[in-house]
Structure 1
Amino acid sequence: MTSSIKMITALGTPLTPEEDLHVEGLEAHLQDQLDHGINGFLVAGTMGLMQLLKERTYRDLVARSVTCNAGRAELLVGVGDTSYVRTLERIRMVEEYDIDGVVALAPFFIKYSQSDLIDYYQSLADASSRPMFLYDLPQTTGTKLEVATVLQLAQHPNIHGIKCSDHFVTIRPVLDAIGDEFRVIVAQPTLMDVLLRAGVREHLDGIYGVVPEWIAAMVTATEAEDWETLATVQQDLSALLTLLQTFSAPLFSTVTALLNRRGIPGNFAPRPMRPITEVEEAALFELPLVKKMFAGKTVTAAE
């Protein structure tokens, strides 16, 4: 994949029935992405469900990801928790590994002011031996990182960028004000064609893990300025996102079925998420869009 475009997959976390790390599943998941030209990973992000994992599973996930990746792609690790001390503890846990940065959600559960958040991130960045990235996900945390807050934090020498999962218009002023000096990594999977055509070069999402060949096709189309193909793939990607959000089974259970069909074993939906039923799974693989996903591929069911 061309280095001028950064596609970062938010990896899922494959688990055994005991909810330990499914090592073979992680290896297969990561290799599948590398085989399709993905050039970055976010481990233990929202897709990886860090907050639902046992501490040992989280540590194993980071250690094994570093080993499997072997420096082939940028490797970022989610560390965001509910308080300064809890997030710092996670940073200390992972900074012993060869990772490229830590990504911290705004603290959740309790509401914090913007001045609280500035102190939180600056203090963590001071303490971290690894580059820090902000993570704006107000839909989940209930706390928005406002533009003025991001611009102030961007002045810290160890805060290198932001992963923004809010709408693009909320982060556009940061791009306009700072440019290339501060990395803005967007999670806008329904607008990738528009943003790629406009020159936005850093993208991250969990959906890439399910259809990495579609993401590779979008990069190829962008580099060739083949806007028609780019728009066509975007339509399929948007339709898949809608399907996952509206299907009868929980999203992570549906993703588990799709990844297992790709030959990637493990359960990506820890309890209390219920598993997909046999009836739901049969219906899922009869859907035209899902058939299109696997058309021409040799698939292997994995448990």
Structure 2
Amino acid sequence: MTTTTATPAPPFGRALCAMITPFTDSGALDLDGAQRLADRLVTEGCDGLVLSGTTGESPTTTDAEKSALVRAVREAVGERASIVAGVGTADTRHTVELALAAEKAGADGVLVVTPYYSRPPQDAVEEHFRTVADASGMPVVLYDIPGRTGTRIEPDTMLRLAAHPRIVAVKDCSYDFLGTQKVLSGTELAYYAGCEEHILALYAVGGTGYVSTVANLVPRQLRSILDAFDAGDTARAARLQQQAIELIESTMSAGLPGTVTVKALLNDLDLPAGPVRAPLRPADRKTTDGLRSAYERLRAA
């Protein structure tokens, strides 16, 4: 295995938010709210926005809504931030269609999750990603989240896929830190932490940054972890990471999907969010109050 020592340049920036998809009270797509939220996130320090991912409720939005969301957010942020469109499905043909639509709508790249439910073997997983990467001119971010898909992208598969010129990055939710470092040491793939508790740890071993759900709530605080590390103040970076853990845990590890908890708190803060779409259900008042308390403590830190 060839070892590389250079940290890959961030293809979409370092601090990326996995943005929620705002809906109106009636459950329709709220494009005005999406634009206002996107502008706030970029103003508060996000280099890029990932749309229609897990947090963006992609299983319950239509193809037309996904394209409309990209167009609206591009209009709001212009060239101030990268836009990565989630296009992954369990169907290779449908994924290709979504990738082409995202390119036409103005995305800078696509996020492609491992095909879920059918549990394809690794050679089929590899072919799926290659087919999508061959279909358009946009760079591809592989999304490795076996806890949701049932199938991971094995490190050896990742090493082979890294040779494709348009497969440039990984959103890493594998919880396999050894495997991640194996791929980092043998490729130029840009690795983004998809789990907020790993932001600093992955960055310290050569990761590129993060794609964060919690960044919907505290974009500036999460970015400060990377900024402190880049400034050489590793003790401050560690302290900032530790200060964020309460909100990270409350948002991501409290028994509810991050979409539900983030929307609950954004609504409580009078920021664009709206309801979740079924089968998800809204958080109760007790959960929302706990989130608000954790948020206020982090903001005051």
Shorter-normalised TM range: 0.7 to 0.9
Q: 1:195 aligns with which of 184, 202, 214?
A: 202
Between Structure 1 and Structure 2, how many residues are aligned?
290
Does the 8 Å contact 2:194/2:210 carry over to 1? yes
Residue deviations 1:258-300 (CA, integer Å, cap 9, x gap): 2124442232522222223345434543x3x23224549xxxx
Q: 1:207 aligns with which of 214, 221, 235?
A: 214
Q: C-alpha separation between the residues in 1 aligned to 2:174 and 2:85?
A: 20
Q: C-alpha separation between the residues in 2 aligned to 1:153 and 1:268?
A: 38
Instruction: Give 1:201 deviation, angstroms.
Output: 2.9
Q: In structure 2, what residue type is equivalent to 1:291?
A: E
Q: In structure 2, what residue type is equivalent to 1:66?
A: R
Does the 8 Å contact 2:100/2:135 carry over to 1? no
Q: C-alpha separation between the residues in 2 aligned to 1:190 and 1:8?
A: 15
Q: In structure 1, what residue type is equivalent to 2:19?
A: L
SS of 1:273's equivalent in the other structure is: coil
- Asked if 1:164 corresponds to 2:172, the answer is yes
The residue that corresponds to 1:174 in the other structure is 183
- Asked if 1:219 corresponds to 2:226, the answer is yes
Residue deviations 1:80-108 (CA, integer Å, cap 9, x gap): 00111111121122121222111111111
SS of 1:232's equivalent in the other structure is: helix
Distance 1:280 1:172, change over 3 A: closer
Distance 1:278 1:157, change over 3 A: closer
Between 1:142-151 and 1:246-255, the stretch displaced more is 246-255
Residue deviations 1:37-86 (CA, integer Å, cap 9, x gap): 21111111111121121333222211112211211112111100011111
Q: C-alpha separation between the residues in 2 aligned to 1:42 and 1:249?
A: 21
The unaligned stretches of length 5 or more in structure 2 are 1-8
Q: C-alpha separation between the residues in 2 aligned to 1:19 and 1:186?
A: 31
Residue deviations 1:7-31 (CA, integer Å, cap 9, x gap): 1111111111332221232122212
Q: C-alpha separation between the residues in 2 aligned to 1:74 and 1:246?
A: 28
Distance 1:214 1:268, change over 3 A: farther
- Asked if 1:131 corresponds to 2:139, the answer is yes
- Asked if 1:101 corresponds to 2:106, the answer is no
Between 1:72-81 and 1:151-160, the stretch displaced more is 151-160
SS of 2:196's equivalent in the other structure is: coil
> Over aligned residues, Cα RMSD in angstroms?
2.3
Q: C-alpha separation between the residues in 1 aligned to 2:48 and 2:170?
A: 15
Residue deviations 1:114-133 (CA, integer Å, cap 9, x gap): 11112211122111232222
Does the 8 Å contact 2:191/2:208 carry over to 1? no
Q: In structure 1, what residue type is equivalent to 2:196?
A: P
Between 1:189-198 and 1:49-58, the stretch displaced more is 189-198
Quick one: percent identity of the two aligned structures? 26
Q: C-alpha separation between the residues in 1 aligned to 2:162 and 2:36?
A: 36
The residue that corresponds to 1:271 in the other structure is 278
The residue that corresponds to 1:120 in the other structure is 128
State TM-score, norm by structure 2. 0.87
Does the 8 Å contact 2:158/2:183 carry over to 1? yes
Q: In structure 1, what residue type is equivalent to 2:178?
A: V
The residue that corresponds to 2:248 in the other structure is 241
Q: In structure 1, what residue type is equivalent to 2:297?
A: K
Distance 1:36 1:282, change over 3 A: closer
Q: In structure 1, what residue type is equivalent to 2:30?
A: H
Q: C-alpha separation between the residues in 1 aligned to 2:257 and 2:156?
A: 36
Q: C-alpha separation between the residues in 2 aligned to 1:110 and 1:82?
A: 7
- Asked if 1:78 corresponds to 2:86, the answer is yes
Distance 1:280 1:145, change over 3 A: closer
Q: In structure 2, what residue type is equivalent to 1:130?
A: M
Higher relative contact order (CA 8 A, sep 6+): 2
Instruction: Give 1:189 deviation, angstroms.
Output: 1.4
The residue that corresponds to 1:300 in the other structure is none
State TM-score, norm by structure 1. 0.87
Q: 1:290 aligns with which of 281, 289, 295?
A: 295
Q: C-alpha separation between the residues in 1 aligned to 2:297 and 2:219?
A: 14
SS of 1:125's equivalent in the other structure is: helix
Q: C-alpha separation between the residues in 2 aligned to 1:290 and 1:269?
A: 21
The residue that corresponds to 1:32 in the other structure is 40
Does the 8 Å contact 2:52/2:87 carry over to 1? yes
